[in-house]
Amino acid sequence: MKNQSVVISYNHKVIKTISGKEAAKFINKIENEEGNIQLLLAKLTGNFKRGNERLNKEHPKQQ
């Protein structure tokens, strides 16, 4: 197995970088779609969005 690393970014800013066994485990979970990918990212990064990604149907950008 090659040395794997994963860089997670949001709005062109690096949130977290993982490598080694942790990266391999994360890649395996994503490839096997074990659960919600957004939830996996939130757990890995410390839940940086804090649940504010719900849609507001009355907001003009959501229509």
What does the DSSP assignment read for 21-59? HHHHHHHHHHHTT-S-HHHHHHHHHT-TTTTTT---TTS
Q: What angle do CA 18, 21, 39 make, to 5 degrees?
A: 60
Rounded to an integer, what distance in angstroms lies between the CA atom of residue 29 and that of residue 32? 5
Q: What angle do CA 48, 18, 10 make, to 5 degrees?
A: 35
For residue range 3-29, what is the model confidence (pLDDT) as tens digits?
A: 778 998 888 999 899 999 999 988 888
pTM: 0.59
Domain extent listing, the chain: 5-48
